[in-house]
Structure 1
């Protein structure tokens, strides 16, 4: 959509809404409201049925039974034969969250188990080759961990890879003979050794 189309759209919308003096302020508030909604446009545009008045709900404060709260909500909304989209829109009013800080806290608390934990480069020194693990599997596991370790330079990774090999392994001796190898060279030597 080009700038002219947007301008026409805005002008038509303003004419249709018959907005008075505070034209720009009203439009800005409406745009901000539309952009700040957490709902999809289908939910945002859901219209309540005729004679719908929002029932009085008990706000969910976070320390009562959530299933009981949902049952209460659904039992009140079923009287209005409310569609799913309208129920989503109205349900937000039953939550007692007073700030973004509070919402952020509850959101992160609820989904903290899915959080990606940033690993430090020294984590690679804990990836020792297991006695029953093949050299190829160890290389795959090490490379995967190295990839997930943002900010780890190749010199640290190279040192960790060598250090995590068993001392009695022939590859360990071969890699420690030339200690200034790059990570790419270490992997190339290891790959050829694995073959």
Structure 2
């Protein structure tokens, strides 16, 4: 029989750290589960934020920090002016269109005395003070150090409150602005322009065609535009202004019956006739 083998002696000490290749490898399944949990948590927040009567729970701050911040170090490390204060504007609570709030906030911030180096940090740091209610709670609950630019902040903000966004209008919506019977041309033009400015990327020939087609077919202005085509909206608006001035002048004359009437000369008195002859 063969002799028993001697026991193998390990040369590694128990207190020495193991080689990285001996460390346990992260399980892909566990990573997938953790990722799915994060996505479900984000989805839960967005659903709760869309319900005005539901309040989101505020997370407790990390023990190692004074207060959590959703911004990365590239934002928080920028030193702003001591007198810097966010713009005075209506607070957003999540019930109106978030795009309008973002545009209004950017316009207000353009008047702030911020250098190019401070602009990105100022836009991010001041945004939270324009929020209220569920919108502010959602902002506070943002993941730690998850936002590195204002564009990223605006995209996440609009995405969370997408249910409050208005439907994007197209050029086809102008085809529903027919001039009413008895409506003045200036009122029709005002309604048309109000709708027109809310439509992005307008196609000029299509807008001019919609403006003309929605006029009353028996109106004089419609006949003029039919005879003499307009190739862009500026030409159509210029002709409309001329027609509106004529329309206003015609209406003013109807109100004042004495306008444009020549004074009637009565028969001359005998004394005047005699004086003339003498």
Q: RCO greater where, 1 or 2, for CA within 8 Å and sep 6 or more?
A: 2
Give TM-score scaled by structure 2 length.
Answer: 0.33
Give TM-score scaled by structure 1 length.
Answer: 0.45
Normalized per residue, the structure richer in helix is 1
Based on CA coordinates, which of the two structures has the bigger radius of gyration? 2
